[in-house]
A and B are shown apart, each in its own frame.
Chain A
């Protein structure tokens, strides 16, 4: 066996090892991503905040935060019927809505 042929086999082997290593790395990264997403969906996390100077633990407390404080904060509710102008038969106003 010539030394040239041995070099050729060595280079080919090193190339196979390199390709295999790259595919293992790509596969591992993909697997980590898939597993992380699955865990995040099945075991959702929970935000906490530090307690104040009182030192009272924040456990079991609900912070009034910028996001979703009460499950779902409803929007301002429109009236079922808008105000309407009075008709000639209407009695005079007995109640005022004004600033206070």
Chain B
């Protein structure tokens, strides 16, 4: 079986990966992927002055008419919050900014002085209001939206689906390690290495699995981490405290029917900590959880690692 060579490039402050089957479908799929990346970036980037979500965060509590892209992204984020009991919450923007993640992560200093600010529990997703008939969103003054947890996954789902339609082939789209698949996968499925960091080597510690459809996402507290004083911070915020999660899981990978659901479940599992296993089991989501000591725990139909 000939390995399918992925196309990869930088996008959305992370890495975009595209695989097609057959490989000849790559041009049509790539055009769609670029289109979706620009769409989601223009709507949802916290680090782009002309993005819609920046304007929404500065709207002073007024209703704001938004594009379909932002409307969908906020809707998806709010649904994710509801599905996870608030563990994945889009109103973590202020916490992110106060913690120092206020620019593209490549520009965030790896080390810095101790934080001199008061971090509080997040306002909560129920503060976000959507007016569907008017295509408007309202966020209270002072509340900042961060769609990072779900917007990339949404873009991956949309791009994979559209690219499969446009190319007539099977497509895998990866954005920051969150994978969406659509169309007919190659025989035996897409071969994926599940690990802590999507930028790691292809033989990094982890598990190699095959997947054929839907979504596969991984959330980890060891990536996008930085230090302020003696404290290590990272990008997964516990909405109950406003601080980065200090739970029992280092990395969680989840397979789901689509990338948004996989990403939502993986991030929520990191936040939920010890209760995550039971929660994932109740949802029937196959998952692989790595604890702080490197111990691997599998949930549901996730395959045990071969010895």
Q: Which residues of A contact B (CB under 8 A)?
A: 49, 52-54, 56, 60-66, 69-70, 73-87, 89-100
Q: Which residues of B contact A (CB under 8 A)?
A: 1-6, 14-15, 17, 19, 60-63, 75, 78-79, 82-83, 125-126, 128-134, 136, 138, 140-141, 152, 172, 174-179, 188-200, 202, 204, 206-224, 251, 253, 255-258, 261, 264-265, 283-286, 300-306
Q: Is the CB of A92 within 8 A of B191?
A: yes
Q: Which 3 A-B pairs have the closest CB atoms?
A: A99-B220, A100-B176, A77-B257
* B1, B210, B265: residue with the most chain A Cβ atoms closer than 10 Å: B210
Q: Is the CB of A100 within 8 A of B177?
A: yes
Q: Known contacts A64-B78, A76-B285, A83-B216; is A100 also within 8 Å of B223 by CB?
A: yes
Q: Is the CB of A79 within 8 A of B132?
A: no
Q: Known contacts A64-B126, A73-B82; is A96 also within 8 Å of B177 by CB?
A: yes
Chain B residues, Cβ within 8 Å of A85: 207-210, 303-306
By DSSP majority rule, is chain A's interface helix, strand, loop, or mixed?
loop
Chain B residues, Cβ within 8 Å of A98: 177, 194-200, 204, 206, 218, 220, 223, 251
Number of residue pairs A-B, CB distance < 8 angstroms: 217
25 A-B pairs with CB atoms under 8 Å apart are A52-B140, A61-B134, A64-B125, A74-B79, A75-B283, A76-B265, A76-B285, A78-B283, A78-B285, A79-B285, A83-B216, A83-B303, A84-B210, A86-B191, A87-B188, A90-B188, A93-B208, A94-B19, A94-B191, A95-B191, A96-B194, A98-B197, A100-B152, A100-B176, A100-B224
Nearest opposing residue in chain A for B190, CB measure: A95
Q: Is the CB of A77 within 8 A of B82?
A: no
Chain B residues, Cβ within 8 Å of A56: 62-63, 138
Give bound CA distance, A64 to B209, whole Å. 38
Q: Is the CB of B189 within 8 A of A84?
A: yes
Chain A residues, Cβ within 8 Å of B198: 96-100
Nearest opposing residue in chain B for A78, CB measure: B284
Q: Is the CB of A97 within 8 A of B126?
A: no
Give bound CA distance, A26 to B202, whole Å. 79
